[in-house]
Amino acid sequence: MKIGIGYDVHKLVEDRDLIIGGVKIDYSKGLLGHSDADVLIHAIMDSILGALGLGDIGKHFPDTSEEFKDIDSMDLLKTVYNNMNDRNYYIGNIDAVIVAQRPKMAPFIEKMRERIAGVLNTSIENINIKATTTEKLGFEGREEGISSQAVCLLINK
């Protein structure tokens, strides 16, 4: 077994879609980034890559590469899954948290879990996603950005 941790943060800006956990959320702002800036998927990918000892998403999907400009992070997650599978590991479980003052994430969490479980070829019961605010403290509380953290347990086949 191996464990990994991931963390990501993106700035909220006008004129961008808000995509978290592979789900488009109707909101007045979106996350700024080279890809679709899916903060949750980025944290999950980093947790898997970390558990495998393969660095982070910046190493595998550099923001200087046009290949990854505006790419769907779910496609990147599939690549990370293939790396994991090629090394004979599968998901034991993932536990993640989204930190955002607004919008409320609760209505979208089950769809996020479904999408992530599908890409990672695991049961939805192995994917846990929580959301919290910071009681208006910090950059998340001021609605300047959204962060996410994830831990994963990988099991050798």
Token duo for residue 1: 């077994």
39 annotated as belonging to a binding site for a ligand: no
86 annotated as belonging to a binding site for a ligand: no
Query: Would you put residue 133 in left (φ > 0), alpha (ψ -120 to 50) or beta?
Result: beta
113 annotated as belonging to a binding site for a ligand: no
132 annotated as belonging to a binding site for a ligand: yes
The answer, yes or no, to whether residue 66 has pLDDT greater than 90, is no
98 annotated as belonging to a binding site for a ligand: no
- Taking the C-alpha atoms of residue 92 and residue 132, their distance in angstroms, rounded to an integer, is 24
Token duo for residue 3: 């464990």
Beta carbons of 83 and 38 less than 8 angstroms apart: no
User: Is the alpha carbon torsion for 34, 71, 122, 20 positive or negative?
Assistant: positive
Looking at CATH, the fold of the domain delimited by 2-156 is given as 60s Ribosomal Protein L30; Chain: A; (3.30.1330)
DSSP for residue 131:
E
Q: What is the pTM of this model?
A: 0.96
102 annotated as belonging to a binding site for a ligand: yes
139 annotated as belonging to a binding site for a ligand: yes
149 annotated as belonging to a binding site for a ligand: no
> In 3D, which of 63, 88, 91 has the Cα closest to residue 76?
63
Q: What are the sequence ranges of the domains in the chain?
A: 2-156
79 annotated as belonging to a binding site for a ligand: no
- Taking the C-alpha atoms of residue 20 and residue 147, their distance in angstroms, rounded to an integer, is 10
- State the number of CA atoms in the 13 A half-sphere of 101 facing the CB: 15
| Residues 6+ positions from 127 with CB-CB distance below 8 Å | 91, 93, 94, 96, 113, 116, 117, 120
- Taking the C-alpha atoms of residue 154 and residue 136, their distance in angstroms, rounded to an integer, is 35
pLDDT tens digits for 39-49?
999 999 999 99
8 annotated as belonging to a binding site for a ligand: yes
106 annotated as belonging to a binding site for a ligand: yes
pLDDT tens digits for 5-38?
999 999 999 999 999 999 999 999 999 999 999 9
pLDDT tens digits for 78-109?
999 999 999 999 999 999 999 999 999 999 99
User: Among residues of the chain, what percentage have pLDDT more than 90?
Assistant: 94
